[in-house]
Every structure is written in C-alpha cells, then in structure tokens.
Amino acid sequence: MALRIKKIFSDHGYDLLMSLLITIVLMFPYLFRGFTAVEHDTFFHLSRIEHLAECIGAGEFLPAMYMSENYGFGYPSPLFYSDFFLIPSAILRLAGVPLAMCCRITVIIASYLSAFFMMKLAERITGKKEAGLIAASAYLFSNYHITDIYVRGALGEIFALAVFPALVNSLYGILHEKNEEEWFALALSLAAMILSHNLSFVLAVMVCIIFFIAFLDRMEKKIFLALCKGAGFAFLITAFYTLPMIEQLRNQTLVVNYFASSSSLESYSIDPWQYFANRTVFALAGNERAHDDTMLVNAGYFLQFVPLLYLLVKKEKKNRFADVCFYAGYVMILLPCSLIPWKYLVILRILQFPWRLNTAGIALLSIPASIAVTELLKKKVLIYACALVLSAECIWHVRPALYRSFGLSDSQTWQDVLDGKLCDPCYSADYVRVELAAGDYLPWPHPDYRTQSREILNENREETGFAYNRSPRWFSFSLEEDPESDLILPLTWYKGWAVYRTDSTMERFQIRKSDEGLVQIYDPEPGRYIVLFEDTPLRNLNRSLSIISLVFMVLIKNKMNWVSGYLDALKKTKRS
C-alpha cells in the first residue's frame, strides 16, 4: 500500500501539488472566512445538501422527493437535478459539519478536480508539465469559472466544469491516439456530466459531435465501436436518473417546460462591450441592464485573446485535436454574442441562457492557449511568470468576495433561513424560493403556497382538522370517522404518490390530481393512512439496469486488461 501511494506521488506529485496551489489562489475567500456568501443559486444548493442529509439519516441515499420542502408540500428536485455528487456533502452534514462549511468544502474539491483534470489533459496533448499548469490556471481563473462560483453559486455547473477536461481527455485518447480502451473513461465522464448538470451534459454531447465530425475521415471500425460503447454504457449506468426524469416531464406540464418554450434567448445574449470588460460584477444577467449592474459571463482576456497566438505556433507543434479545440472553442465563446440572431435559434432554448456555451468554450480554449504560451515563450521561467500573472489577476477578481455580507455563517442553520432571519424565504414568489430557486419543477400552474392551507381539506376546500405527521420518507394521518368526502392533502401532485390504509392490510386507495395541483384521495374510510412517494415501476427497473450495467462494464474492462496482459506476455515468451 505504501509503495502504491509512493508511486502515485511519483507519477502525479507535480500535478497534485500545482492543482492544490492554484485552487488555494481561487478559493482563498472560502478558506479565510467561516461564511458562505449567498449568490444566485446558493440557497437552492444549501437546501439540497440539508434535505439530502435528512433523507440519508432516514436510510434513503437516492431520494426522489424532499417531503419537508416548500412548506411541507414536497418537491422532487432529485428527480430532475441529480444529487448524486452531493452525497459526500450530506454525509459531512450528518456528521455535524456546519451546512455553510459543507457547501464550501464541496466547491473547493470540485475546483481542485477541475485544475487536476485540465492539467492532465494539457500534459497529455503537449507532453509538457508547464503546459498543464498554464491550461489549468487559465481554466480555473477564467471569468466564467469565477462568476459561476462567486456570483452565481451554480454548484451543478461547477461540478460539470470539473468533468469537462476528463471528457475531452477521453475523446483525445479515442480519436487522436486511437486507444479503443478509453471507452471506459468516456462512459464514466459522460455519466458524471449527466449526474452533475443536465444542461452541461447537452453541451458535452455537442462537443462529442463536433470532435466526431472533425475526425470522421480517420474513423476506424474499432474507434467507432469504442465511441458507441462509451456512449451506450453512459446511458445505461445513468438510466436510474434520466428515464424517470423523462417520465415525470411527460406526465404533466412543469414550470421548466413553460420557461423553455417561452424564454427570450436574445435578452440573455452577450453584448459586444462585455467581451472587453474584465472584472467580477455581483449582479444579474441580461443585456438590458446598465453596465455596472450586469453580471459578466465572458471568458476573460486571457482565454479570449491568448489562444489566437496558437496561429503562430509551428505546424509540427500542433495536431488536429488541438486545432478542433481552437476553432470550436472560439465558436462557443462568440456564439452567445447579441449580434447573433438568437431569436431564430429556438432549438437552443433548452440551454436557457446563450452564455452557457462558455462552459465548453473555456475548457476547449485552455488547450491552444497552453500550447501557444509554452511554444512561444519557451523558457520555463517565463512560463511560470505567466502563471503568476494569471494568479495575480485571479486574486484581483475574487478579492471582492471577501467583503460579501449577505450569507450563511457556520454558526447558522437551515432553519434560520426558513425562519426568515436572513431574508424573506419566498423572495415575494408564491413558493419557498430559498428551497426551490426558480421553482422549475413545480407544476404549471400551481397554487400560491404562501396562502394555500396546510391542513387536510375536504372536497369543498374546507379544513377538516385531521391531524397528520410527516417524516423525510412518509406522511401519515388517521380518520376516526367517515369524512363522507374526498380528501385533499397538503402535498403537491407528482406521479409516484401512493396512499395506503395500514390498520388492517396495506389497502391502496385511488388518488388523483386535484384542481389545485395537490393529492386528492377518493372516498377514504375510517382508519390509519400512510402516504409514500414510491418509485414508479420504471424507476425500479432502471435502478436495477444501472447497477447491472455498471458491474458488466467493470467486468468487460477488467477482462480486456487481462486479455491484453496475457497477449503481451505471450509475445514476450515467443521472442525469448
């Protein structure tokens, strides 16, 4: 074991250390304050960690419904926004780590992985460790990456930014080096992207298609099969999440469906002046605001202009893969410009905001930028000086985060947020915005949860006075007499609710969606009742499918390694 650890540090020590150093540069506001500033999506992600910890404490690691969210009406965000990578954070929370600190630790680890994976990618392409340092610094310190962390609090995209370099690395191995065994890495990185952030996965698919087309003339059967195997297994091992999500999206119209069909992409495109602004602005997005009140979502000066020097690099120092990174990267960061007629690009409404393309753009442009710097500067001292300049610029960008005053300290709890000690939990919305953010996964339309009765109602919408109990996994109540009416429960309707009478046998009662979008029970009888959000048959089936596929994938990978090792040994025996 000690020898194995020693070998890891011998092979990767430089990358591990340098990734740590640049992560410290980026994350120093998080390291020196026992405080997590609340930005655009921070409350939503804090709520996810808190409620996932509740469910894990009740014995459920992959919940579908957070029963206590939104005044107890419930919210199934895990069905639409995977909490898989939040499990370690939730376990920390269960161990007594303050909620705000759990969030900071999660972001720090994701940022470290972003740096490490980008460093390994650039080193693999160039064969130079200094190129890895430049690529990782450029990627980690880009304006868009900094904005995601300190302005948007976009934890899902922060996870996706950690996975993107690993995905591109697997594509490089398959397409450029023609290593068919990289299908395994491709499957894992695509799966990790799905479980990180749905919309970033869409971008990942776009990147895969771009590289596939670029290398189509060099495509061999074994390479094509490796790509298919990677994509196929990625689908199978994440089926436990993706297919139930599609099932719910098809079951009823949600807020996200409405937003996707009516959003104005052009309003969130990037005006040309923003490409020449280079500072962190704590504001909202949109090109209809004053300059000082507009969040900047560009790539930053370095990744916008330095990759152009790649055109000056000698031909023998380039390769097709880096060329694709160069051209596709610039398309990604320039396409969000407001000069592009976004009102006609309705097919991209799924992205919600054009500037999301920067997620892929900054990852791709980090490669030609690192090649340009290392080939043109040549001397190591100059290359390290460039990394220091990038670090100094990063410190200047993130320094304002030290002075953010609105947030959650390590001494505060999630209940403090719900009690309104920090702000109005609803932010004037008709639901608990601090838990649901934009309420993307609420039914459309839905009741005003602030005024909607939280009691059990009869079919005339009168409060019955029936008492009930709830836990992270169930809702229960008892009826001492026949209510002589349907009952409407204070639970938002989604496919998966089931009502059972438990005093004799587990008799299942018929339910439907009420006019208010709540759970309505047909003609209940006296007795004890329990309400569960059960896995649908599809979710049960696909959980088993994903587990079996993951085991099968690992067995195939190990078998291929065993066969390869056996053939190599056989060749050596014949030679001797």
d(Cα 219, Cα 187) in Å, to the nearest integer?
A: 19
Distances (CA, A) of 75 to 432, 437, 533: 11, 11, 11
- Asked whether the whole model's pTM tops 0.85, one would answer yes
Q: Residue 259 above 70 pLDDT?
A: no
SS (H, E, C) 223-254: HHHHHHHHHHHHHHHCHHHHHHHHHHHHHCCE
Three-class DSSP category at 284: strand
147: β partners? none
Please, which pLDDT band fits residue 565 given cuts at 50, 70 and 90?
Answer: low
The pLDDT score that the predictor gives to residue 186 is 98
CA proximity to 513, closest of 445, 450, 435, 440: 445
Return mean pLDDT, the chain.
Answer: 92
d(Cα 213, Cα 454) in Å, to the nearest integer?
A: 55
For the four alpha carbons of 121, 125, 131 and 134, in that order, the dihedral sign comes to negative
Q: Cβ(442)–Cβ(254) under 8 Å?
A: yes
| Amino acid at position 374, single letter | T
Average of per-residue pLDDT across 247-272 = 83
Nearest 5°: the CA angle 415, 420, 422 is 95
Least trusted range by pLDDT, from 217-221, 549-553, 561-565: 561-565
What tokens were used for 222?
């074994």
| Amino acid at position 229, single letter | K
Q: Cβ(326)–Cβ(358) under 8 Å?
A: no
Q: Please report, for the chain, the start and end positions of each structural domain, with discontinuous segments joined by +.
A: 256-377, 457-533
The pLDDT score that the predictor gives to residue 506 is 79
Least trusted range by pLDDT, from 232-241, 260-269, 347-356: 260-269
Which H or E run contains 407? Answer: strand 407-409
Q: Residue 267: CA atoms inside 13 Å, Cβ hemisphere, count?
A: 9
The pLDDT score that the predictor gives to residue 37 is 96
d(Cα 68, Cα 50) in Å, to the nearest integer?
A: 11
Please, which pLDDT band fits residue 570 given cuts at 50, 70 and 90?
Answer: low
* Cα end-to-end distance, the chain, whole Å: 33
Nearest 5°: the CA angle 66, 89, 535 is 35
pLDDT tens figures, 54-112 = 999 999 999 999 999 999 999 999 999 999 999 999 999 999 999 999 999 999 999 99
What tokens were used for 12?
């990767």
What tokens were used for 493?
């309707």
Q: Residue 502 above 80 pLDDT?
A: yes
Please, which pLDDT band fits residue 8 given cuts at 50, 70 and 90?
Answer: confident
For the four alpha carbons of 464, 469, 473 and 478, in that order, the dihedral sign comes to negative
Least trusted range by pLDDT, from 178-192, 274-288, 366-380: 274-288
Q: Residue 263 above 90 pLDDT?
A: no
pLDDT tens figures, 398-438 = 999 999 999 999 999 999 999 999 999 999 899 999 999 99
pLDDT tens figures, 452-489 = 999 999 999 999 999 999 999 999 999 988 888 999 99
d(Cα 485, Cα 524) in Å, to the nearest integer?
A: 8
Q: Residue 317: CA atoms inside 13 Å, Cβ hemisphere, count?
A: 18
User: What CATH class does 457-533 carry?
Assistant: mainly beta
